């Protein structure tokens, strides 16, 4: 598996509020054997997750998701703004929200019975933050003592809470939820901001409003703030034979919906579905598997997303949540992949990345990784 398949999900005509476009995703039948529930954390949501020896992830985490494959249908769910993975428990990332903290052990943790608590989007973001987190594997002379000792610790990225994405809260509040709706694709100024899919319509009704507590990238925030309003869906039925009855009119309207679905799948959702991802298995849950994934970090490729998904034994997506990376985040991922692929040797990495050593050093500094470099002064 290296692509996302939304088999069984159908896009319905979009709902537009200013620059925000919501595209409902409906299932003809729910995914059997899996339910998702929300677990709310009191005290404002600031949280610390122990993800490894001496390594913590700090973020705004107001809730978690609980995947329940017990068949009993009971359970619970998590989100967040400033993100960081760092290797010293005594360090505090800059600008961390000063709120009562919840401490979590692991991003995904088994609960009694057939249940798994995981922290949605944070699971994916921690995967991005930990990308080549260990730093140089060999003591090449270009790298600082700190780089060789601590790698990329601390490592931090910024994101925006959904409440601050202009129009998103109003759109989620105003529009009705479709019968059978199990997901939504969120666009800002017609740029795909996020995809969210759950196994059952009941789960979606429970979790629909939680999208305003999700994380969104810098580009999404800017597009929603400064982008022009987008056009809504309107059925255009030309006069013709068969339209003098309700059945004929209904058939023509269904054809307009079908054309919208095909246009959405071919024009809007391609950047998400046509990308080849690197998948990392997180946990196997009976016949289901929880994964997180990273894009190829190709420059000049358009929107690229990180995320997490739960698939069944046939690879069908039961759960999906994505985060659109900013251009700067894509460049950082591309740079780290290039350095690690060249075994952190600057001359080899420069050739692989199509740059001179001096240009590569400038790119490393511009990406915020200056502490990795030995002082050349």
Q: What is the pLDDT of residue 259?
A: 76
Q: What is the pLDDT of residue 93?
A: 42
pLDDT band at 91 (very low <50, low <70, confident <90, very high): very low
* Residue 265: pLDDT over 80: no
pLDDT band at 253 (very low <50, low <70, confident <90, very high): confident
Q: What is the pLDDT of residue 86?
A: 43
* Residue 96: pLDDT over 70: no
Q: What is the pLDDT of residue 261?
A: 72
Q: What is the pLDDT of residue 230?
A: 87
pLDDT band at 43 (very low <50, low <70, confident <90, very high): low
Q: What is the pLDDT of residue 84?
A: 39
Q: What is the pLDDT of residue 81?
A: 33
Task: Please tell me the least confidently modeled range out of 118-127, 232-241, 330-339.
Answer: 232-241
Separation between Cα atoms, residue 83 and residue 342, nearest integer Å: 28
Mean pLDDT of the chain: 86
* Residue 163: pLDDT over 90: yes
Separation between Cα atoms, residue 134 and residue 335, nearest integer Å: 15
Task: Please tell me the least confidently modeled range out of 97-106, 323-332, 339-348.
Answer: 97-106
Separation between Cα atoms, residue 161 and residue 368, nearest integer Å: 23
Q: What is the pLDDT of residue 106?
A: 86
Portion of the chain with pLDDT greater than 70, in percent: 87
* Residue 37: pLDDT over 50: yes
Could you tell me the two tokens for 110? 């088994």
- φ, ψ of residue 69 in degrees (nearest 5): -115, 25
Considering only CA atoms, which of 113, 111, 66 is closest in space to residue 290? Answer: 66
Q: What is the pLDDT of residue 235?
A: 62
Q: What is the pLDDT of residue 267?
A: 66
Separation between Cα atoms, residue 266 and residue 44, nearest integer Å: 40
Task: Please tell me the least confidently modeled range out of 96-105, 150-159, 220-229, 273-282.
Answer: 96-105
Separation between Cα atoms, residue 324 and residue 185, nearest integer Å: 12
**Which neighbouring-strand residues pair with 26?**
10, 181
Query: Mean pLDDT, to the nearest integer, of 150-177?
Result: 93
Q: What is the pLDDT of residue 40?
A: 86
Q: What is the pLDDT of residue 74?
A: 41
Query: Mean pLDDT, to the nearest integer, of 235-249?
Result: 73
pLDDT band at 262 (very low <50, low <70, confident <90, very high): confident
Task: Please tell me the least confidently modeled range out of 94-103, 112-121, 240-249, 299-308.
Answer: 94-103
pLDDT: which is higher, 157 or 250: 157
* Residue 347: pLDDT over 80: yes
Contact 338, 350 (CB under 8 A): no
| Angle 94-96-97 from CA coordinates, rounded to 5° | 150
pLDDT digits (tens, 9 = 90+) for 316-341: 999 999 999 999 999 999 999 999 99
**Which neighbouring-strand residues pair with 196?**
184, 321
What burial letters (b/e) apply to 245-280, b meaning 16+ CB within 10 Å? eeeeeeebeeeeeeebeeebeeebbebbeebebebe
Q: What is the pLDDT of residue 233?
A: 66
Query: Mean pLDDT, to the nearest integer, of 82-86?
Result: 39
Q: What is the pLDDT of residue 363?
A: 95
pLDDT digits (tens, 9 = 90+) for 50-81: 888 888 999 988 899 999 998 765 433 333 33
Q: What is the pLDDT of residue 47?
A: 82
Q: What is the pLDDT of residue 284?
A: 96
Contact 102, 51 (CB under 8 A): no
Query: Mean pLDDT, to the nearest integer, of 161-173?
Result: 95
* Residue 152: pLDDT over 60: yes
């Amino acid at each position: 598996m290296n692509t996302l398949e939304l088999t069984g999900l159908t896009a319905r005509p979009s709902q537009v509020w200013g620059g925000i476009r919501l595209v409902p995703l409906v299932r003809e039948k729910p995914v059997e054997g899996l339910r998702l529930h929300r677990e709310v954390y009191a005290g404002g949501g600031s949280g610390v997750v122990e993800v490894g020896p001496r390594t913590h992830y700090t973020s705004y985490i107001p809730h978690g998701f609980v995947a329940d494959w017990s068949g009993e249908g009971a359970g619970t769910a998590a989100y967040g703004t400033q993100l960081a993975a760092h290797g010293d428990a005594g360090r505090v990332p800059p600008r961390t929200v000063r709120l009562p903290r919840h401490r979590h052990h692991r991003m995904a943790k088994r609960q009694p019975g057939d249940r798994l608590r995981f922290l949605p989007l944070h699971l994916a973001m921690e995967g991005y933050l930990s990308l080549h987190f260990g730093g140089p594997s060999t003591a090449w002379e270009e790298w600082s003592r700190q780089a060789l000792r601590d790698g990329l610790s601390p490592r931090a990225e910024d994101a925006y809470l959904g409440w601050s994405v202009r129009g998103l809260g109003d759109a989620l509040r105003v529009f009705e939820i479709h019968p059978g709706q199990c997901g939504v694709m969120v666009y800002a100024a017609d740029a795909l901001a996020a995809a969210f899919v759950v196994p059952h319509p009941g789960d979606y009704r429970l979790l629909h409003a939680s999208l305003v507590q999700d994380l969104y990238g810098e580009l999404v925030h800017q597009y929603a703030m400064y982008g022009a309003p987008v056009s809504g869906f309107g059925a255009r039925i030309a006069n013709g034979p068969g339209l003098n009855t309700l059945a004929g009119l209904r058939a023509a309207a269904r054809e307009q919906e079908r054309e919208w679905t095909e246009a959405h799948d071919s024009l809007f959702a391609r950047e998400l579905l046509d990308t080849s991802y690197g998948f990392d298995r997180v946990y196997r849950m009976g016949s289901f598997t929880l994964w997180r994934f990273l894009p190829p970090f190709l420059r000049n490729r358009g929107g690229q997303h990180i995320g997490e998904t739960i698939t069944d034994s046939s690879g069908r997506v039961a759960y999906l949540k994505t985060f659109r990376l900013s251009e700067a985040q894509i460049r950082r991922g591309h740079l780290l992949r290039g350095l690690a692929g060249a075994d952190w040797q600057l001359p080899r990495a420069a050739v692989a990345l199509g740059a001179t050593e001096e240009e590569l050093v400038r790119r490393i500094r511009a990406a915020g990784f200056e502490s990795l470099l030995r002082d050349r002064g």
